[in-house]
Amino acid sequence: MWCLPRSAQQQLWKYYNFLQKGNLDLRGAEAAVEPYEEDNPWGIRFIIRLMLASDYQELKIGCVSEQQAKDWKDKINRVAAKGDLASATVQTRQQETEQRISQELSNLVVYFQCVNFKVERPSPYEISSFPESKMERHIQTIPKALIDFHRIGFSRVYPKATRVDSSNYNPVPMWNHGCQMVSLNYQTGDKHMQVNEGMFLQNGKCGYVLKPKYHMDPEYDPSRPNHFSDISLVLELTIFGARHLSKPGRGCISPLVEVEIIGFGEDSNGKRTTKTVRDNGLNPTWCHLMGFKVSNPECALIRFVVGDDDSLREPSQIGHATYPVLCLREGFRSVPLKNHYSEEIELASLLIHLKIEKINETVIKDKLKYELLKMIEEAEKNNDKERVMHLRSDYERRK
């Protein structure tokens, strides 16, 4: 079938390398059968003249019979027609996709250029990537410079390569220092992933949360614990009870509840824990009162964990719930519990009562400035010039 007449060998030699490297593109090709009257030792009597749309304009194929030539011609033309149809279908789908795209929304898309980190020269169209360990070192050594950098520049933090078990790091310090993208291992339902899920419950669960306003203040310094937002909160929380607590396998549950604030600096001040109710997972009660002071509510989350207290080992987690502090509402509340992967556990919940008291930080700051003036006066009496200069600088910053 694919024998070539001697007179056509030189003409078709230029196609040899091409045919060895791949396939012919038959889209737009046309095939026609012509008689071949020259004598040849292969018995070639008909030629299929194949007109290609590619750079190789024409290809001749020899056949021993007219019926064979016509069959191959029809097959080639059908394949070429299907290729044109497929190409037209792809083009039509592309046009339909383009019609569905909002041009106004498309214009908002920003393409970042990946660059090495340069703290002194941030750019709004560049992004730098960090393993968690490197960002943690920057947080310890240059916290103020990181905040300044993230007012303009962008960064992405990812788990270090040694986390072969796909565990996660604590994302809160990265958020608190302005990092825009903090990547975690979503396949691992640990505490840090649960905190991540709780963080993005705000703003309609859209996956985007605005930074606190004071992050954009040039005077903000995260290394100074007293420089926070103007309003602090005192949370008075009563854990009344729970219902429908369960665990895999058999056995009775002895539940207890741990509550903690996760936030900036002094706000992460430990856990409060209820007593253990023995062998009651259906409707345990505690009526346990606990209190928290939150100096920086914009960066704080509250986390409830219900555990099964086994005297032989650490309490195992039955369910949890994590919420941004600013999303809390006062009064009696039912708190739905979730599993390790932040999926709601059917019917399981806590009953709590929450009271929120706001403390005006302006009054506190005025008292601090008054105390600073007294300290400056005392340092001047002792002729301690270095301390006076330091205290005056702190006083000017608080004006």
The sheet carrying 113-114 orders its strands as 113-114, 126-131, 154-158, 181-182
Residue 344 and residue 242 share a domain: yes
Residue 300 and residue 244 share a domain: yes
CB atoms within 10 A of CB 78: 12
Domain boundary among 66, 100, 134: 100
Chain centre to alpha carbon of residue 285 = 38
Domain boundary among 100, 122, 150: 100
Evaluate whether residue 132 is within a structural domain. yes
User: Is the pLDDT score of 281 beyond 50?
Assistant: yes
- Residue 89 pLDDT class (50, 70, 90 cuts): low
Q: How far is residue 343's CA from residue 341's CA, in Å, rounded to a whole number?
A: 6
Average pLDDT along the chain: 82
- Residue 4 pLDDT class (50, 70, 90 cuts): very low
Residue 268 and residue 155 share a domain: no
Residue 351 and residue 287 share a domain: yes
Residue 296 and residue 235 share a domain: yes
For residues 321-331, average pLDDT: 94
Residue 255 and residue 366 share a domain: no
The tally of CA atoms less than 13 A away on the side-chain side of residue 167 is 7
State what percent of residues in the chain have pLDDT above 90.
Answer: 39
Residue 123 and residue 83 share a domain: no
pLDDT digits (tens, 9 = 90+) for 333-348: 999 999 988 899 999 9
- pLDDT attached to residue 220: 80
* Both structure tokens of 39: 């004598």
CATH number at residue 268: 2.60.40.150
Evaluate whether residue 1 is within a structural domain. no
Instruction: Please enumerate in sequence order all residues whose Cβ is within 8 A of that of 15, keeping only pairs 6 or more positions apart, or say none.
Output: 56, 59
Are the beta carbons of 302 and 350 closer than 8 angstroms? no
**Could you give the 3-state DSSP secondary structure of residue 130?**
strand
pLDDT digits (tens, 9 = 90+) for 96-115: 666 677 777 777 666 788 88
Evaluate whether residue 88 is within a structural domain. yes
Evaluate whether residue 225 is within a structural domain. no
Evaluate whether residue 226 is within a structural domain. no
Are the beta carbons of 157 and 172 closer than 8 angstroms? no
Chain centre to alpha carbon of residue 174 = 13
pLDDT digits (tens, 9 = 90+) for 31-67: 788 888 888 777 788 888 877 766 556 777 888 888 8
Which of 96, 125, 100, 97 is closest to 110 using CA atoms?
A: 125
Residue 350 and residue 238 share a domain: yes
Host domain of residue 393: 362-397
CATH number at residue 158: 3.20.20.190
User: Is the pLDDT score of 19 beyond 50?
Assistant: no
Between 292 and 397, the more confident residue is 292
Residue 373 and residue 333 share a domain: no
User: Is the pLDDT score of 206 beyond 80?
Assistant: yes
Residue 352 and residue 237 share a domain: yes
Domain boundary among 100, 126, 158: 100
| Torsion of the alpha carbons at 121, 124, 128 and 132, rounded to the nearest 10 | 100
Residue 297 and residue 321 share a domain: yes
Residue 252 and residue 346 share a domain: yes
Question: Which amino acid is present at 76?
Answer: I
Total domains in the chain come to 4
